[in-house]
Amino acid sequence: MGENTAPPQVRFYQNGYEVRRCGSGNIAVAAYLENTFGPSSSVLIKASSESITLNMHGSGLYGYSAQTLPQYPLRQASFWRNVLSCKCVHGAYAGGPRDYVVLEVEDEQSLCALKPSLKLLKQYSGRALIASAKAGGDCNYVLRYFAPQYGNNEDRATGSANIQLLRYWFNRGLHGKLKARQLSEGGGAFYGQFLKNGAQLWGRARIESAPDVRKYRAV
């Protein structure tokens, strides 16, 4: 930033693990950059897995654009039923064996009551579990996110999961701008849209405390 024209390098960590894709982190970085360096419509950053354009929409609304991972038909359905311990309506793999599995349950009530076997998930799969259901009211879908293999039994607000869900629910018939709500304790709300060249996601962020990086300079 400032005199340096190279994109800022960003890496994310949680519970001692580096996070390859951190959508909520991207939104937080957008809020931090605006708070530290002043308003800007967009900023390009270099994350560990890709270059990402952050967007500042004003009024505390921040977002980013990213490519979705390719999605494939669900395999080993009996294993995933055992992980869920409830009925799985539909599902898909997103990306490779260390990326994601999306499992759709019947309704919001089923998702709230969900108690997946984190032991099975951690022992036999490298995929983080995105559990989701269609929702009513002011939301289009709801979700929960589990990744015990990477030190995160359940996440509160997972932007990267929503990037994959925008593609999943588009394929399931939900088009246009969507609103999602994460049902974990303290979970957040997200807004997004799946497009041919990727997905756009945005949400609100608040800076609680931050060091003044303007006191430091590169050496």
Per-residue pLDDT of the chain (219 residues; tens, 9 = 90+): 444 567 777 777 776 767 677 667 777 787 777 777 777 777 777 776 677 778 787 677 888 888 899 999 999 999 999 999 899 999 999 999 999 999 999 999 999 999 999 999 999 999 999 999 999 889 999 999 999 999 899 988 888 999 999 999 999 999 999 999 999 887 789 999 999 878 999 888 766 655 554 443 332
Taking the C-alpha atoms of residue 143 and residue 129, their distance in angstroms, rounded to an integer, is: 10
Taking the C-alpha atoms of residue 131 and residue 112, their distance in angstroms, rounded to an integer, is: 10
CATH 3.10.310.10 fits domain 71-193: yes
Taking the C-alpha atoms of residue 80 and residue 129, their distance in angstroms, rounded to an integer, is: 10
Taking the C-alpha atoms of residue 124 and residue 128, their distance in angstroms, rounded to an integer, is: 11
Q: What is the pTM of this model?
A: 0.84
Domain boundaries, given as residue ranges, for the chain: 71-193
